[in-house]
Homo-oligomer: A and B are copies of this chain.
Amino acid sequence: MTPTLTVANPDWLAELAPPGLVVPDPVERVRLAVRLALENAERRTGGPFGAVVFEAATGRLVAAGVNRVVPLSNSVLHAEVLAVMLAEARVGSYTLAAPGLPVHELVASCEPCAMCLGAVLWSGVRRLVFAATRDDATAAGFDEGPVFPESYAYLERAGVEVVRGVGRGEGKRPFERYKELGGPVYNP
């Protein structure tokens, strides 16, 4: 017996964030990640987090993800993890920095937790952009885990540029909406 797991976004996501969509404006890329987080809250298909992998130069969307922890009974399925897994499947490599590939970036509605920060490092993206911060997530009840200034220094040394605070105000909205709707805060 080989148990297999299926990992998937909710069906509604493909319409809002189809692979191949081109989003040239960096601010609009962040807005899309936040929109996915908000939709995920509204539709009760997971936690209030969204993430998108883009080709950095063109803004061509490679893959997107939303938090699926509670619906799929899987604590690993944060938005960033789903976006990275699906992007790698799409390019057919375990690294988005494989020879011949364009430079990729990960744009997230919120600052990544400790697990996702590690996942960003292994993904081969060269830029990480996020809207809401660790403080915003913590205020909403979501633990971000052991992330320190040295963690970001490690990423930067590995060639991952970190861009913070773009659309932070909008980035808080998914948390607010999630709370209004009574969504579960799912830390163990």
Contacts and interface: CB of A to CB of B under 8 A. Distances in A.
A20 B103 CA distance: 45
Contacts of A116: 115, 118
A9 B3 CA distance: 8
Contact of A75 (B5, B7, B8, B122): B122
A132 to B, nearest CB: 18
A119 interface: yes
A138 interface: no
A178 to B, nearest CB: 16
B6 A6 contact: yes
Interface stretch (A25-33, A48-56, A143-151, A169-177): A143-151
Contacts of A119: 75-76, 115
Interface of A: 1-11, 13-14, 18, 63, 69-70, 72-76, 81, 84-86, 88-90, 92-97, 113-119, 121-124, 143, 145-146, 148, 150-151, 154-155, 158, 186-188
